[in-house]
Amino acid sequence: MNIQKLQHRFKERCGVVAIASKSKASNYIYYSLRALQHRGQEAAGISVFNKKIESHKGIGLVANIFDDEKLKSMKGRNGIGHTYYSIKLSKPENAQPTIIKTEAGEVALAHNGILINAEKLRKRLKRKGHEFELGCEEEVVGYLLIDHLNSSGDLINALKRTLNEIEGSYSFTMMFNNRIFGIRDPLGIKPLCLGKFADGYIIASESVALDVIGAKMIRDVAPGEVVEITSKDYKSHQLFNLKHRAHCFFEYTYFARGDSIIDERCVYEIRKRVGWRLAKEHPAHADIIIPVPDSGRAHAFGFSLGSGIPLAEGLMKNRYIARTFIMPSQKLREITVREKVNPIKCEVEDKRVVLVDDSIVRGTTMKRIVDMVREAGASEVHVRIGTPPLISPCYLGIDMTTRDQFIAHDRTVEEIREILNADSLGYISIEGLVEALQFSKDDLCLGCVTEKYPMDIPPEKHRFQHTLKEYRY
């Protein structure tokens, strides 16, 4: 497939939820989606089963789309929900869950991830006579499933055949009529977990969506597993068992909420460990450690523990400002960074400071912050970063799409330091990151920092180049 085309579509990260309950599901889904709001602020939707699938979706934050009346009117006990992140989204119809109505039944799908072969599959399905109304990847999955169901008659078997055909990253929650499923891709790229609460069972992207409704985490959904939940029980179907996994490391260092547990690891703990290692790899002579709020907080705490230098709240964040990352132009991005964080002058004046953040993408945020902290009177400004230099696009669901977007893609650390106007700059090493994550390197997706990907994405390299076929399923 044309790589340019791929790169334009790869701009999603989302949150998914599924509830099977003895009472109305919509309130539970609503609160869980709010807990997953950080995974997508562009749109959201809930679908419940009440004799048929009923949905409500909209643009914006979950709290703005649903009110009491709406939630009350959604009567089903089983349902799924989605928060959507895509800078290209413009119409509410594009929000998920995506509904496919056929004679064989109704399917609702909520997807976190990116399918890299959706276009190819869509063309094939079109030739077979399917008409695509929405143009999204989930429609492709829905029609594949229905076709396989029509030929095999068994839903789990049809799911297995469907998953065998799709490639990419996916954590789905799915409703087939009133049956509820959670599905995680065979490499476990995106997170998904299972929990139990007083009224039933829940599946969600992150454990914080369980916590908020008082559910206890049972476990992560395993890579390649399909879990069906009812209000009374759950059933597992392990459809694929690959030798290796490819957990996205960026979930741990940036995307997920710090209080989530993903694949048996506490996200906050990992960020702290990264910071601690960073202090050992790139020590600094300084008076205070300042976290870049909020993404650098846990890393900075770890850096402070590892270096013995006290932590200080040197930057104040204005919480009511929209994210700067997706601003359409560089100029706008620069202005909005200034609006978003402001130095606390009395904390930084005459101090040697270490600024700690989770990552640098274009470098806009950090450059602005270094300038501000200097203007506020800091005598030295050192920068430490909890992600190795980002050099390569993400094809599997993170909003980093072209190489030239990355400040590090064709520059040395020294060249970047100069651009940032920092006294020193240190990134965590890939080895340090892997050690902090406590996974084997072969079980991680590190594509954006190594340029080696966990699946075949021509013309990029595969992380197991010599044995590519082994990892196809």
Binding site for ligand AMP (CB under 6 A): 254, 292, 295, 325, 357-366, 398-400
CA distance linking residue 347 with residue 373, whole number of Å: 10
Residue closer to ligand AMP by CB (options 112, 364) is 364
Q: Among all residues, which ones are annotated catalytic?
A: 14
Residue closer to ligand AMP by CB (options 159, 292) is 292
Identify the CA nearest to 174 among candidates 248, 116, 229: 229
Give least dist CB 399 to ligand AMP, A.
4
Residue whose token pair is 């650390």: 413
Give least dist CB 284 to ligand AMP, A.
19
Q: Which two tokens stand for residue 257?
A: 């909420």
Residue closer to ligand AMP by CB (options 100, 400) is 400
Q: What are phi and psi of 33, to 5 degrees?
A: -65, -40
Q: Give Cβ neighbours of residue 335 (< 8 Å, ≥ 6 apart).
A: none
Give least dist CB 29 to ligand AMP, A.
25
The DSSP symbol for 402 reads -
Residue closer to ligand AMP by CB (options 188, 397) is 397
CA distance linking residue 442 with residue 458, whole number of Å: 20
Q: Are 310 and 377 in contact, with CB atoms under 8 Å apart? A: no
Residue closer to ligand AMP by CB (options 363, 377) is 363
Give least dist CB 147 to ligand AMP, A.
35
Q: What are phi and psi of 19, to 5 degrees?
A: -130, 135
Give least dist CB 323 to ligand AMP, A.
6
- Beta bridge partner(s), residue 357: 385
Angle between helices 364-375 and 330-340 (to 10 degrees): 50
CA distance linking residue 143 with residue 103, whole number of Å: 12
CA distance linking residue 97 with residue 30, whole number of Å: 13
Give least dist CB 292 to ligand AMP, A.
6
Q: Which two tokens stand for residue 95?
A: 């929000």
Residue closer to ligand AMP by CB (options 145, 369) is 369
Length of the chain: 473
Q: Give Cβ neighbours of residue 81 (< 8 Å, ≥ 6 apart).
A: 16, 17, 18, 19, 29, 30, 32, 33, 44, 45, 46, 47, 97, 110, 173
Does residue 115 sit in helix, strand or coil? strand
Q: Which amino acid is at 89?
A: L
Residue closer to ligand AMP by CB (options 262, 366) is 366
Give least dist CB 362 to ligand AMP, A.
3
Q: Give Cβ neighbours of residue 329 (< 8 Å, ≥ 6 apart).
A: none
